[in-house]
Structure 1
């Protein structure tokens, strides 16, 4: 069941949703950037330097969150993004490794 923030449970993460989210170059870059970070690292959504408006950036993170690729956590008045590496690896072994360039 999806939580109040829109994060699906691990067993609800769907390959089509994940691949659809990754099909956009900006969202793919966000995931690649998170893959390059230390496991469990959280990043502020503006730290990715996406060349889009705030509303478009919010849309991209919503798609990533609802697909199950990222977890977003409120830290004070900031929203942090964290890759759901273990969840994705358990559902689709090797997928994240294939994204590393």
Structure 2
């Protein structure tokens, strides 16, 4: 079984798509954290991750978006996490 590992997508849909297109054929893709955060397309990134059946480990930015707890983040990262929390759909929030 071939497993592809990615991390730190941070809601960057175009980069996420490029990585998936460039990745050799694998049986499973695992995201080692931070699927969302910073960039402006968190729902689109989560939708694509769901459609590709990714296994996702919750990273610190994912956690901050889900819990709205950005303690320890710099001001820009905290603002991005809270913005992401406001933008995620209920379905993607649960993912």
TM-score (norm. length: structure 2): 0.29
Structure with the higher fraction of residues in helix conformation: 1
Q: So what's the TM-score if we normalise by structure 1?
A: 0.28
